[in-house]
Structure 1
Amino acid sequence: MSTVEESQSANSQQFAVAEEEEGIRLDKLLAQRIATLSRARIQALIRSGNVTGPGDNAGAADGSYRVKAGDTFTVTLPPPAPAEPQGEKLDLDVVYEDDDVIVIDKPGDMVVHPAPGHADGTLVNALIAHCGESLSGIGGVRRPGIVHRLDKGTSGLLVVAKHDQAHQGLADQFAAHGEDGRMHRAYLALVWGTPLRPRDTIEARLGRSQSNRTKIAVVRGESGRHAVTHYERVHTFPTQAGPVTLLRVMLETGRTHQIRVHLAHVGHPVLGDTTYGSGFKAKAARLGEEAQEALAALDRQALHAAELGFEHPVSGEALMFESEPPEDLQRLLDALERDQTD
């Protein structure tokens, strides 16, 4: 085993290489020894000169350096850079929180990341203020580690990492998209019409629309990115405008706007989706008065991240959370239930 001893600085650690570790890459060795830092973070520390040794050996500045028995390295962890953007005290529905992760039930009108037109009032702003010093620095910056996103207009459950180790652990699970059994995500979507099969899979590649670069579209051939969406019917409302169906949707891949684009592609766009369901405005106008008012009040796509399960990135505990439809979506569901045809 290698030995580890703290230096005089609280932010520095010294590592001596044992015989059985000889030949291991420097960045891999240090990532094994410092569980709270990802390998990418270790590599950044090496590049920035925060890893020194052995002695004056220049190999210490290269993550690919093959360590030798008896080598001693000192790793200095600089304090996290101040958070950007600034934190804002905003209301958050915190479902779960510990020293490593936080699970939020995001309202439909909140943007996750600051962007042009949304410089503040975002989930990131709110998390920086809420978590404060418990954010130990993702990639050296005191910020929340966002590993998945929900579109503005999509409500529901979202997990965020507080430090590098948790960020890497969650990112690995989301990259696998549940194939290894560690992660589970399911959404509720209200769509126009009724899919023919009670459950089905949509497999269609997605890429930027050639006619409108702000939109995602189904693309043919080998262009675009592989995307797979599974769904099952939950309930059908026989409204005055024709059937509206509540679907439970599961993602096998996680592409931008995937659920909305795939459902529109098979002829069942999400209610309230002005980007991918704009052709259904006339149908919306044929709903009963109460349902029309509820859809107008929703003012977003009727899509909700209702189930989220994952393996805790530090403890390994299996966690599962469920979120009921928010008030605006539940009001629409109730109105559709009463909007029966004669």
Structure 2
Amino acid sequence: MLEEKLNQDILDDDDEQQLYEHWKIVVDAGQAPVRIDKFLAEKNPYQSRNRIQNAADAGFIHVNGKPVKSNYKVRPEDEITLMLDRPKHDTSIVAEDIPLNVVYEDDDVMVVNKEAGMVVHPGAGNFTGTLINAIAYYLRDLKTFDANNPEVGLVHRIDKDTSGLLVVAKTPEAKTSLGKQFFNKTTHRSYNALVWGNMVEDEGRIEGNIARDPKNRLRMKVFSPESGIGKSAVTHYRVIERFGYVTLIECILETGRTHQIRAHMKHIGHPLFADETYGGMEILRGQRSSAYKAFIQNCFKLCPRQALHAKTLGFVHPCTGKQMDFTSEWPADFAALIEKWRGFIKGTTLDTFES
């Protein structure tokens, strides 16, 4: 992707250096004249226009085989390429012998329980050690499965530091069927999360479009549905257990946007506990005592990642038509965190806590 390539260091232009093609796009025949930096920014919403301008000024953006500056006006059927001074990274997926927690498997699908800290799919900065590398090794003897074939494999994703259930399609037919179910929102997924604050309502619905935060492109931001910015997203939540300064909740997704639960909870003032990207690694509720501060730091050490677990997953089997439902237990760090908070509130009246 252009975003991944431009996020690498852009070196000074050198007429003598050899350049390698990393990315290419052909402009539509009906395209109206527009500056190339604006055109590429619209095609790549996760990449800043300033970054694209820097790449063009460094001589790395070419049109029809020649470098252009950022004020170049694209024309119909122009061939735009990103040329960098190093060969393109080999992104083919290599099988790696990595432990894999398989909770269900048949000839068509496989359900795995991903541990926190494992990236789901290779990408910039994480080309090895991912879940798909582990799946490629696990299914290495299955001749019909090729991890590099987009017609099979993972149907959906969860964040690196989120634990829980994922479904893998072992055949193209299974992936097509499961993909339609996710698109039509007929799958069932629920997450358990520990969030900062004593939530006022026992249950609720959060609706708000989600798009990349223009001030911090590593996180997502919620915009009003009327804004026209981002993609629509809906999260339902239900309180499971209250600990005064934090609340254990269940989240059910209507949509599956990037960082959806994390961004929605931040938006309503209840960031996920220990979620550094969204401000949850700060002491947002509680006491000023040194004992309380020490308690929270111990909690962060117990579960040093966002307290979010993909607990249940349900879908219709792509071949049998049978409803398949799976539940996973909390991982050790999440379970220890909850027990820590249960111990903290013993003998404490919840009425004393703030919402």
Q: Please, what TM-score do these two structures have when normalized by structure 1?
A: 0.69
Say yes or no: does 1:134 pair with 2:135.
no
What amino acid is the match of 2:221?
A
Say yes or no: does 1:316 pair with 2:324.
no
Distance 1:90 1:108 in 2: 14
Could you say what secondary structure the match of 1:134 adopts? coil
- Counterpart of 1:293 (choices 291, 298, 309) is 298
- Counterpart of 2:194 (choices 190, 196, 206) is 190
Say yes or no: does 1:226 pair with 2:232.
yes
Change (3 A) 1:285 1:148: farther
Q: CA RMSD in A?
A: 2.2
Distance 1:216 1:137 in 2: 34
What amino acid is the match of 1:134?
L
**Post-superposition shift, 1:198?**
0.7
Contact 2:302 2:336 in 1 (8 A): no
Distance 1:191 1:91 in 2: 30
Say yes or no: does 1:273 pair with 2:275.
yes
Change (3 A) 1:199 1:235: same
Q: Which residue of 2 aligns with 1:77?
A: none
Could you say what secondary structure the match of 1:339 adopts? helix
Distance 2:302 2:126 in 1: 21
Contact 2:162 2:310 in 1 (8 A): yes
| 1:157-306 paired onto structure 2 within 5 Å | 157-178=165-186, 183-220=187-224, 221-238=227-244, 243-278=245-280, 280-281=282-283, 283=285, 287=292, 289-290=294-295, 292-306=297-311
Q: Which residue of 2 aligns with 1:332?
A: 337
Distance 1:186 1:249 in 2: 5
Change (3 A) 1:138 1:252: farther
**Post-superposition shift, 1:284?**
8.0
Distance 1:278 1:137 in 2: 40
Could you say what secondary structure the match of 1:299 adopts? coil
What amino acid is the match of 2:164?
G
The Cα offsets for residues 153-184 of structure 1, whole Å up to 9 and x where unpaired, read as 10011101011101001101111122xxxx21
Could you say what secondary structure the match of 2:230 adopts? coil
Change (3 A) 1:282 1:246: closer
What amino acid is the match of 1:153?
D
Distance 2:219 2:261 in 1: 13
Q: Please, what TM-score do these two structures have when normalized by structure 2?
A: 0.67
**Post-superposition shift, 1:278?**
4.5
Change (3 A) 1:196 1:285: closer
Contact 2:159 2:259 in 1 (8 A): yes
The Cα offsets for residues 294-323 of structure 1, whole Å up to 9 and x where unpaired, read as 322311100000011111111111111101
Contact 1:135 1:144 in 2 (8 A): no
Unpaired runs of at least 5, structure 1: 1-82
Distance 2:274 2:150 in 1: 36
Contact 1:138 1:164 in 2 (8 A): no
Say yes or no: does 1:307 pair with 2:309.
no
Change (3 A) 1:225 1:308: same
Q: Which residue of 1 aligns with 2:4?
A: none
Q: Determine what percentage of the aligned residue pairs are the same residue.
A: 42
